[in-house]
Structure 1
Amino acid sequence: MLSVFKRELFSFLNSLTAYITIGLFFLACGLMLWFFPDTSILDYGYAELDGFFSLVPFLFMFLIPAITMRSFAEERKEGTYVLLVTKPVTDLQIILAKYLACVVLILIALLPTLIYYYSVYQLGLPKGNIDSGAVTGSYIGLILLGCAFTAAGVFSSSLTKNQIVAFAIAVFLCFFTYTGFNSLSKIQALQGIEAFIANLGINEHYQSISRGVLDTRDVVYFISFIMVFLGLTRLILGGRKW
């Protein structure tokens, strides 16, 4: 499993696509945080990163599918998956190795954004006038969100040999699981169970963690979400004749 993880991670790091994708993500975050009038901290006038943490999930909907789309789609297109399964590793180990490699890349993409926290910390009047607890909670929420989207992206990549199709499916799954249930809960015919429906979506649990309170129910939700999509990936791969 470790050899598959290293192979997957280094194949990402040795490709220009990974650096371009992560660079565009960092650039988009910077532009929205400092330059765009509607989201700029300088125009807002308060030392907080709420706008940043509300925008990143939507950037994740494109960043993560761009990273995960090649996980299995490329292997199947080039026929290298047949060679991979001949190694002494199980389907689950292959899935976990590819999944963890993608998660590491997401963490690498998030790491430079800590400079935004440092900048706002220094710009606050007085210096340090920022809710560090809420920021910590929001970063934990982003990491869990990234892990959840990655699981959905890996699943999408197992469905097809075409990376573009895998990307499109992953974008749809990420968008729907993040915002779709909230939209469904507002339908008049579903009044009375709107809270239950909203709780099925990621956004409700992400916002809960972003408040700085780490609730066990939210953590269990994210772990369950990840396990469901990785389980579906194993089901898809195990049901095919390669």
Structure 2
Amino acid sequence: MFAVLRKEFNAFLNSPVAYVVLGVFLVATGLFVWVFPDSSVLDYGFADLQTLFNLAPWIFLFLIPAITMRTFAEEKKAGTIELLLTRPLTDGQLVGGKYLACLLLALLALVPTLLYYYSVVKLGAPEGNIDSAAFAGSLIGLALLAAVFAAIGVLASALTRDQIIAFLVAVVGCFLVYSGFDSLASLFEGGPAYYIGQLGIAAHYRDLSKGLVDSRDLLYFFSVVAAMLLATRLVLRSRNW
């Protein structure tokens, strides 16, 4: 699995994909957090990075599918998937290696956001006047969100040999899982609305952004990732049916 991970990650670094993803993410978040007056933390008056964590999921909604769309679709189109599957690797190792490479690249985009936190800490009055627990919880939530989006994207890529179709399917899938259940819950009231909302990512992401790292939220994210990866493995196994 680690051989696949290393190969895939090196392929990202040797192509424009990694640099485009990192550049787009940092430019977009930087403009909204520091430049645009309606969302800039400098004009907001509070030492808070909520703008970053409200915006980042929507950017990831497009960037992560752009990362994952080539994982299996490119192998199928080039005719190398059969050669890859004949190597001494289990389907689980193959899926896991490709998935971890995509996730690692997505998480790499989050590292520079620590500079945003440091800057706000220094700009606070008094210095350090920021809710560090909320920042840490939001960062964990964003990392878990990236993990789910990457798993959905890998599954979408395994379903087709066309990268554009894989990208579109992944975007729609990520949108439905992130926002679809919230929209559906708004049609109901009371208990049904709550339970329907809990099926989506947004509710658990909001809980983590408050600085409350609940085991139920972690279990939700890990369960969705596991389900998507198992489905991807099942798609690969279907070649033998």
Which consecutive unaligned segments of at least 5 residues does structure 2 have?
none
- Root-mean-square deviation (CA, aligned residues, Å) is 1.3
Alpha-carbon spacing, 1:58–1:4, altered in 2? closer, same or farther (3 Å):
same
Is residue 79 of structure 1 aligned with residue 79 of structure 2? yes
CA distance in 1, matches of 2:18, 2:84: 22
Question: What residue number does 1:19 align with?
Answer: 19
- Give the drift of 1:17: 2.1
Question: What residue number does 1:208 align with?
Answer: 207
**Amino acid aligned to 1:93:** Q
- Give the drift of 1:124: 0.5
Q: Deviations over 1:149-184 (max 9, x none)?
A: 110010011111111111111111111111100100
Is residue 10 of structure 1 aligned with residue 18 of structure 2? no
CA distance in 2, matches of 1:24, 1:221: 29
- Give the drift of 1:237: 1.1
The secondary structure found in structure 2 opposite 1:5 is helix
CA distance in 1, matches of 2:48, 2:109: 21
- Give the drift of 1:37: 2.2
CA distance in 2, matches of 1:62, 1:22: 13
Tell me if structure 2 keeps the 8 A contact 1:152–1:174: yes
Q: Deviations over 1:125-158 (max 9, x none)?
A: 1111111111111111111111011100100111
Question: What residue number does 1:238 align with?
Answer: 237
CA distance in 2, matches of 1:85, 1:215: 39
Is residue 193 of structure 1 aligned with residue 173 of structure 2? no
Alpha-carbon spacing, 1:83–1:183, altered in 2? closer, same or farther (3 Å):
same
| Mapping 1:152-163, distance limit 5 Å | 152-163=152-163
**Amino acid aligned to 1:239:** S
CA distance in 1, matches of 2:62, 2:220: 22
Which 4+ runs in 1 deviate beyond 3 A?
Answer: none
CA distance in 1, matches of 2:39, 2:203: 22
**Amino acid aligned to 2:21:** T
CA distance in 1, matches of 2:46, 2:109: 25
**Amino acid aligned to 1:76:** K
- Give the drift of 1:32: 0.8
CA distance in 2, matches of 1:167, 1:37: 32
Alpha-carbon spacing, 1:80–1:194, altered in 2? closer, same or farther (3 Å):
same
| Mapping 1:17-96, distance limit 5 Å | 17-96=17-96
Question: What residue number does 1:226 align with?
Answer: 225
Question: What residue number does 1:118 align with?
Answer: 118
Question: What residue number does 2:136 align with?
Answer: 136
TM-score when scaled to structure 2? 0.97
- Give the drift of 1:240: 2.1
Aligned-pair identity in percent equals 53
Q: Deviations over 1:5-53 (max 9, x none)?
A: 1111100111012211211111001011111222111111110111111
Tell me if structure 2 keeps the 8 A contact 1:75–1:81: yes
Alpha-carbon spacing, 1:229–1:176, altered in 2? closer, same or farther (3 Å):
same
**Amino acid aligned to 2:237:** G
- Give the drift of 1:241: 5.2
**Stretch moving more, 77-86 or 90-99:** 77-86
CA distance in 1, matches of 2:150, 2:30: 23
Which consecutive unaligned segments of at least 5 residues does structure 1 have?
none
